[in-house]
Chains A and B, each alone.
Chain A
Amino acid sequence: MADSRGPRLFADLNNVFKRDPNIDEYDILPVLEPTHNRSPFLLQEHKLGVEAWAVKVLMKYVATRLIGWRSQNPLVKFIDPTEVLNLTRALILFNPDNYTAWNVRKELVESGFLNIADDLQFGALVLSKHPKSAETFIHRRWLFQQLLDHCLSSSLDSNGSVAAVPENNADSSISMDLIDVDIVASPENDGLLSMDQSLECSRLFKLHTQLEMRVCARAAERYQCNYHAWSHRIWIIQHCLNCSLQVLLSEMKETEAWNSTHISDHSGFHYRQFLLTELHKRQEKLSLLSISPGQLVHREMAYVCDLIRSYPGHETLWYHRRFLFCFMLNTHPLDQDTKLSCKSSNGFSVYRDQGEEALKRHKTFLIAQELESVNTKQKLESSSKYNHMLLGKYVHWLQTLLTST
């Protein structure tokens, strides 16, 4: 049955956003019954509180109206775009995984009625309350894809020099090597109106990419082991920052302090594993900076061993150690040599076999060395029972590596 308070609450919410377009956080207030003469919307210093009873009434109203319009229910035919936009806002604030509502916003972006920057800002607001909302991150990836496409087409228009299609071809996409994610973005810096469209587009793109890293960091902070936030950050690095060397290195540096204070966050540590893997793929460029991937991995191993010593009993740290050890094992210089000798020694299988044999011996040696190191050093150092269990698991895992080598 329709609740007559719905349209009124909807209008009130829209007025709240008119009064303060820069609301940056919101939540539900545990008020279950309406109080006479008091608005259920509380606005203070860009924070919005909505009384629980009002959320219920509001959701029923906006969902029925928006989806009714979407399904061409004749009772709700004529809705103007502003109302549609406001309906999606109200619905998504409290029902962020309603993908159809997000799709309506995509259509409004496509028709030019909603601008990408505003929609990114709205998504960031949604993430302040729902930091692991999958659909919110999915929508943001779509918005970034729009920005990428705009940049590509405007740079094509301006000089025709960008010939590659960024999708599915990371190495040939727009060069974003100069992006420095350390720079604090300043959205107020608007003195660039005379620039040509292409430069303006790439400036906006850089700005939003920088802001996006912060959106990810905030979401990761609000919800531990936030799969969506970290895999989104990886997507941004891959698709918008082209996995550029500078970005990878700066991200390694940037996240270290965070990881040291979030030793149970497996997603955060996986992010470092992703960065190291990508850095390894670019070892030739890396060597121009006099850095070898080996150095980076050894440094990381020392870092995680140090954390394990300081904070015993954290599965995440032991998993990170597994990754690093595996990485060292499989990227050993000997391994590269063997591959090279395999390539150049067609028909000389004796040499190849010798190379493989040597590599196998070396791997066995490395595993034995690691086993020795955990068995003696760490056993003495760790006093917690759980850490002993984790250590036991690590030892078992190393032994399975030994049998499969």
Chain B
Amino acid sequence: MGTSVKDIVIPSNAPKSLLLLKHADYIVSYGEKKDDYEYVMTEYLRMNGMYWGLTSLALVGHLDKMNRSEVIEFVLKCQQDCGGFSCSIGHDPHLLSTLSAIQILTLYDAVESVNTDAVVRWIKSLQQTDGSFYGDKWGEVDTRFSFCAVACLALLGRLDEINVDKAVEFVVSCMNFDGAFGCRPGSESHSGQVYCCVGMLSLAGRLHHVNADQLGWWLCERQLPSGGLNGRPEKLPDVCYSWWVLASLKIIGRLHWIDKNKLVEFILACQDEETGGFADRPGDMVDPFHTLFGLAGLSLLGDTTVKAVNPVLCMPEELLKKSKIQFQYL
């Protein structure tokens, strides 16, 4: 009798050391495949995908392997008349792709090459009277969009353009009894949403709304016997939560509450020794999304072969040090 915990077992032959260069090669070759069925199917994520890939390269010190002007040209083409960015050419603008676009431009120190006033105006127009943000003109509300809006404006140095008090009020209204956050008031707690809410509160300088012990405890309970982290109770571990959960813990000053060695072992086991790149779990297919969050997780866990990552914006720390952005940490 007795049900076993929902978890995976790390195979004994799984990688145990970081294959830094292989990951750079993987990202570069991923960017070169263009006429694939996969390419068509992932186009709605193109801008995010470029951010994941380029940030991975920046974290391993190989951003120079990509063609800077080609990337910037693509991003510029995706800015729409309203000011927002679309995920790809011919697609519609959205806050999710707009944040990725601004992050990419920041990586390349090229923010000034786009119309930033128009971006700011558009983001402002998406804030509602209750403080929440629409993701685009069609009206969907989600705490992820609150993070995107605030992160974009912080990167542009224009956070004072929106009603920050109201924005904070809305995010806090999405907090649950366990100290964690959901996508809207009344919705279930979710580690990805926690990251967005905690990150937003850090940028707004309002982390006092968080019950750090309670939330920290909930986040730590995401660690499973394999060492990996899940996003919600009774879900399987996944490398991307090495980022969402870990970054949240770092922001609220509770990173030491988890078993670091076991998590490092889990993340390393998710690498593909042949192709490079990280998968969600050992043995699965790799992709740029999990590659970034694997690398960024290792960086937060103190691996010095990866560059230091900023826990709020998931970008190289050295780059953001030059900016005037204020990050609050507990």
Measured CB to CB, the residues of A under 8 A from B are 1, 56, 59-60, 63-64, 67-68, 70-71, 73, 94-95, 97-100, 103, 106, 138, 141-142, 145, 168, 225, 227, 230-231, 234-235, 238, 264-267, 270, 273-274, 277-278, 311-316, 319, 322-323, 326-327, 383-387, 393, 397, 400, 404
Contact = CB atoms under 8 A, between A and B. Distances in A.
A126 to B, nearest CB: 15
Given A393-B221, A400-B217, A266 B3 contact: no
B2 A387 contact: yes
B231 to A, nearest CB: 9
Given A95-B44, A312-B1, A103 B138 contact: yes
Contacts of B87: 99-100
Interface stretch (B17-25, B33-41, B299-307): B33-41
B1 A383 contact: yes
Interface string B3-33: 1111000000000000000000000000000
A138 B134 CA distance: 12
Chain B interface size, under 10 / 10 to 19 / 20 to 34 / 35 or more? 35 or more
A314 B3 contact: yes
Given A103-B138, A106-B138, A315-B233, A277 B129 contact: no
A267 B188 CA distance: 7
A56 B35 CA distance: 12
A263 B140 CA distance: 31
A231 B183 contact: yes
B2 A383 contact: yes
A311 B87 CA distance: 46
Nearest to B221: A393
B44 A99 contact: yes
A108 to B, nearest CB: 13
Interface in B190-226: 190, 213-214, 217, 221
A227 B2 contact: no
Contact of B233 (A231, A319, A384): A319
Nearest to B213: A400
Contact of B234 (A314, A384, A393, A400): A314
A385 B217 CA distance: 21
A348 B88 CA distance: 65
A168 B281 CA distance: 41
B91 interface: yes
B165 to A, nearest CB: 17
B130 A266 contact: no
Given A100-B91, A231-B187, A267-B188, A311 B44 contact: no
Given A59-B41, A95-B44, A73 B233 contact: no
B178 interface: yes
A326 B90 contact: no
A227 B139 contact: no
Contact of A266 (B139, B217, B232): B232
B44 A386 contact: no
A72 B5 CA distance: 53
A383 B2 CA distance: 7
Nearest to A106: B138
Given A311-B3, A322-B178, A384-B1, A227 B190 contact: yes
Contacts of A327: 177
B86 interface: yes
A334 to B, nearest CB: 19
Given A1-B35, A314-B234, A142 B139 contact: yes
Contact of B2 (A68, A277, A315, A386): A386
A60 B37 contact: yes
B262 to A, nearest CB: 16
A231 B234 CA distance: 18
A99 B187 CA distance: 22
Nearest to B142: A138
A51 B236 CA distance: 31
A231 B182 contact: yes
Given A70-B91, A142-B138, A326-B177, A386 B41 contact: no
A65 B214 CA distance: 51
B89 A71 contact: yes
A64 to B, nearest CB: 8
Nearest to B94: A99
Contacts of B86: 100
A60 B4 contact: no
B140 A142 contact: yes
A68 B90 contact: yes
Interface in B75-127: 86-92, 94
B1 A227 contact: no
B14 to A, nearest CB: 24
B179 to A, nearest CB: 11
B253 interface: no
A402 B43 CA distance: 51
B316 to A, nearest CB: 29
Contacts of A99: 44, 87, 91-92, 94
A59 B44 CA distance: 13
B2 A313 contact: yes
A266 B232 CA distance: 8
Contacts of A231: 182-184, 187-188
B283 interface: no
A324 to B, nearest CB: 10
Given A63-B40, A393-B221, A404-B213, A270 B188 contact: yes
B235 interface: yes
Contacts of B157: none
Contacts of A63: 40, 43
A292 B79 CA distance: 55
30 contacts: A1-B35, A56-B37, A59-B40, A60-B40, A63-B43, A71-B90, A99-B44, A99-B87, A100-B92, A138-B138, A138-B140, A142-B138, A142-B140, A145-B139, A168-B129, A227-B188, A227-B232, A238-B186, A264-B6, A266-B188, A273-B177, A274-B187, A313-B2, A313-B4, A315-B233, A319-B233, A322-B177, A387-B2, A400-B214, A400-B217
